[in-house]
Structure 1
């Protein structure tokens, strides 16, 4: 069979000749080959669409960077809040108060609010009594 039917006839007449001479007309999907001017038009359209896509992707990258910059501190803050909720408190640095009880052999540290933070056995250096321990022991403040 021929690759091109009615090659000698103009394109406009070929369809009618094919209709008149075929055995059956069947509806199917197929790929229609482009003429050169159609290929050129599609390439030009591809170029225009590619330029538009590149411009929009640049804008999207700017918007993403902006939002990323705005989201980052919120994510960091959220992480800190989650850590605080897990610990059921916040981590602070400040003055704490150490009390040594030589009689019990314990040392305790207290927060400014008066809560005991830590208790441990006294060290050999802490065994020597201080003036404050003497005042607390006797109850005299003079």
Structure 2
């Protein structure tokens, strides 16, 4: 069996010669060996595609960084809310509260704007000194 047929015929006429002289035409799969020129073209195509992939990956990373920045405060807020739900309470920071000294009980109470006792502690030595105003707490009732 010959390795090649029709090499002496021009390349553009070769397929016609082969089909005219073949017993049959069938579609099959086979492995094609690249010429040095074809191999060079494949390498160029690979380089161009690799550059395009790199550009897209860089663009993707930048977009993901933007999404991460947008998600970060939302995830932090979500975590705070989850913690509050888990604890059933939240820590209120820097809210003005009314301080009342109860000399009889030797305690100090702090009340929020709703009048709820939010914190209490034992009276400190410097708070033990009574003054005229501390003796006359307004309780909402007339005296």
Q: Normalization by structure 1: what TM-score?
A: 0.65
Q: Which residue of 1 aligns with 2:99?
A: 98
Q: Which residue of 2 aligns with 1:89?
A: 90
Is 1:69 aligned to 2:69, yes or no?
Answer: yes
How far apart are residue 53 of structure 1 and its match?
Answer: 0.6
Question: How far apart, in 1, do the equivalents of 2:131 and 2:102 lie?
Answer: 11
- Equivalent residue runs for 1:1-142 within 5 Å: 11-12=3-4, 34-87=34-87, 88-136=89-137
The one-character-per-residue Cα deviations of 1:75-118 (angstroms, maximum 9, x if unpaired) are 22223323333441352312111111111111111112111122
The one-character-per-residue Cα deviations of 1:29-56 (angstroms, maximum 9, x if unpaired) are xx87643123212211211211221221
Question: How far apart, in 1, do the equivalents of 2:142 and 2:129 lie?
Answer: 20
Aligned pairs, number: 117
> Alignment partner of 1:108: what SS?
strand
Instruction: Assess if the C-alpha contact under 8 Å between 1:109 and 1:117 holds in 2.
Output: yes
Question: How far apart, in 2, do the equivalents of 1:78 and 1:93 lie?
Answer: 22
Instruction: Assess if the C-alpha contact under 8 Å between 1:135 and 1:141 holds in 2.
Output: no
> Alignment partner of 1:107: what SS?
strand
Shift in alpha-carbon separation, 1:51–1:140, aligned structure 2, 3 A? closer
Q: Normalization by structure 2: what TM-score?
A: 0.64
